[in-house]
Amino acid sequence: MAGKFKYGVSLYSFTDDFGSVMNVEDGFDHVADTGATGIEILGETHVTGYPRPTTQWVDKWFQLLEKHKLEPTNMCSWVDTKLRLSRNLTVEEGAAELERDLNLAHLLGFKFLRPKFGVVTSDLVPDPIWEPAVERVLDLAHKYGIVICPEIHSPTPIKHPVVDAYIEFIERTGTKNFGLLIDTGIFQDRPLPFWPQETPEMRKTALAFLDGIKVNPEEFLDIAKYVVFVQAKFHKINDNLEDENIPWPKVISALKRAGYDGYLSSEYEGRRDPWVAIDQVRRQHVIIRQLEKDFDEGRLA
Amino acid sequence: MVEHKFIQSSGFRNVGPEGAREGFEVRIRLPNYRGMRMSLFDGVDVTVDGETFPYEQNLIRLRDQTFNLAELREAADVRWELFEWGTVVVRKPGGLTPGIHRIAVCARVRSPYFPPEFQPSFVRDERLGTIVLP
């Protein structure tokens, strides 16, 4: 039998609650109460004093992990290649951004680091400095036992030059410290409701991907050996426990058949009214846990 | 803690000496879900009771530092964190009259990982706010 999933939650799920109706300590409680074993964070968002939190903050971080029986999974970071309007980052500066976040991720006990590189095209081709910048920090990542994993995120599908380039990099360097992170939003097959301030015109053009780019979950099997982490992106689970956008039975079936045994880390990205996210994450955990059970017991092929 | 809404209730006030007000300011929360370096921030348009004050002329204050647009675009060493509020300082001789005003803001944010057509992207909010002191 294939391995079992590990279940986590990203604090990103509670975006907009933070700062006004929730603090990071509350976030730990909501994550742990789903039965999750892993917590994912955004360094710049959830670490007070980022990138150099105080000793007291770090002590509290480990106390909270211990209290809630959680392990740090993935820390999200950014390489802001267009940090200034006047010029792009150099390779050295890009490598320094990665080094800064590897150091912090290591300090806090994370095993995965997701850098979000600046892009140069509408279909999210990263700034070409990504490759030499990553190559310069592979030794440091190796020393820390951290896997750097850019995310494959809508509107970028699996069959795309961006993914090909990441895989070529892994093959060329032979590194174990770089892999793919799959965001399940790429499998979205039904439209999202309009976001506040979004117009029908925007949805027809630049935001057309919000109707769903409908990647066939079977394509996961083609790249599974490079995938190290999965962000279980979702947008709305209704009162009948139906996800209105992500086809979970197909997604979970493909992940299981591919032998994926890493984290499914919930990433709620729906209505941002206060207090909505907590229960949405709980609903998602019911769905994905049930589907894994169905697969393991032969009810889902 | 900050208010859930982008534009905050407190912090909407006149600035400059009483009787010779130089303008007013509006307090906002971080217009993003991640703490960000100030250089990624590209100013804020403010509209009060239908009168628009464009981003090029407004100042941004974070903690004890104030930036004009040119300074903001190079301020790569200053970070605005999630739990902090910032202030938009608007020049308007005489300031605003005490009472209720309709405020709209449009923050301009550059997120390098967004496609080029979303540089900058806009974070907008609108609400009623109250000026207490003349």
Report d(CA B132, CA B134) in Å as an integer: 7
**Residues A266-289, mean pLDDT to the nearest whole number:** 96
ipTM: 0.94
CA dist., res. B68 & res. B47, Å (int)? 18
Q: Which residue, among B1, B2, B33, would best test binding to A if mutated, counting the most A CBs under 10 Å from its CB?
A: B33
State the average pLDDT over residues A217-243: 98
- Mean pLDDT within A202-229: 95
Q: Is A42 within 8 Å of chain B by CB?
A: yes
Task: State residue A147's pLDDT score.
Answer: 99
- The answer to whether the CB atoms of A44 and B73 lie below 8 A apart is no
pTM: 0.96
Note the pLDDT tens digit of each residue in B33-77.
Answer: 999 999 999 999 999 999 999 999 999 999 999 999 999 999 999
> Is the CB of A19 less than 8 angstroms away from the CB of B42?
no
Is the per-residue pLDDT at A1 higher than 60? Answer: no
Cross-chain residue pair A20–B2, CB shorter than 8 Å = yes
Q: Do A85 and B73 touch (CB under 8 A)?
A: yes
In angstroms, what separates the C-alpha of B59 from chain A's closest C-alpha?
18
Please choose, from the candidates A19, A8, A7, A21, the residue with its C-alpha nearest in 3D space to the C-alpha of residue A274: A21
The pLDDT, as a whole number, for residue A2 is 61
User: Do A20 and B37 make contact, defined as CB atoms within 8 angstroms?
Assistant: no
Tell me the catalytic residues of A: 153
Q: Do B37 and A78 touch (CB under 8 A)?
A: no
Tens-digit pLDDT profile for residues A46-88: 999 999 999 999 999 999 999 999 999 999 999 999 999 999 9
Collect all residues from B whose CB is shorter than 8 A from any CB in A: 1-4, 29-30, 33-37, 39-40, 42, 73-74, 76, 79, 81-83, 110, 112-119, 122, 124
In the predicted model, is pLDDT for residue B25 greater than 90?
yes
Of A23, A81, A122, the CB nearest to B117: A122
Query: Across chain A, what does the average pLDDT equal?
Result: 96
DSSP string of chain A?
-PPPPEEEEEGGGGTTTBTTTB-HHHHHHHHHTTT-SEEEEEHHHHSTTTTS--HHHHHHHHHHHHHHT-EEEEEEEEE-TT-BTTBPPPHHHHHHHHHHHHHHHHHHT-SEEEEEE-BSSTT-PBPTTHHHHHHHHHHHHHHHT-EE--EE-TTS-SSSHHHHHHHHHHHHH--SSB-EEEEGGGG--SPPPPPTT--HHHHHTTTGGGG-----GGGHHHHGGGEEEEEEEE--B-TTS-BSS--HHHHHHHHHHTT--SEEEEEE-S--STTHHHHHHHHHHHHHHHHHHHHHTTS--
Closest C-alpha to A118, from A84, A74, A157: A84
Q: Kindly tell me if the per-residue pLDDT of B30 is higher than 60.
A: yes
Give whole-number Cα distances, A27 to A40, A99, A134, in Å.
Answer: 11, 27, 31
Among B30, B76, B119, beta carbon nearest to A84: B76
Show residues of chain B in contact with A49, CB under 8 Å: 81
**Chain A, nearest residue to B34 by Cα:** A45
User: Which run of H or of E encompasses B73?
Assistant: helix B69-74
Minimal-distance CA residue of chain A relative to B113 = A118
Q: Shortest Cα distance from B90 to chain A (angstroms)?
A: 23
Whole-number Å distance between alpha carbons of A119 and A182: 18
Q: What is the mean pLDDT of residues A114-142?
A: 96
From chain A, the residues in CB contact with B112 under 8 A are 78, 80-83, 117-119, 127
Distance CA A148, CA A181 (A): 9
pLDDT at A95 over 80: yes
Q: Which residues of A touch B40 (CB under 8 A)?
A: 80, 83
* Partner-chain contact B115 A121, CB within 8 Å: yes
Is there a contact between B115 and A20 if contact means CB atoms under 8 Å apart?
no
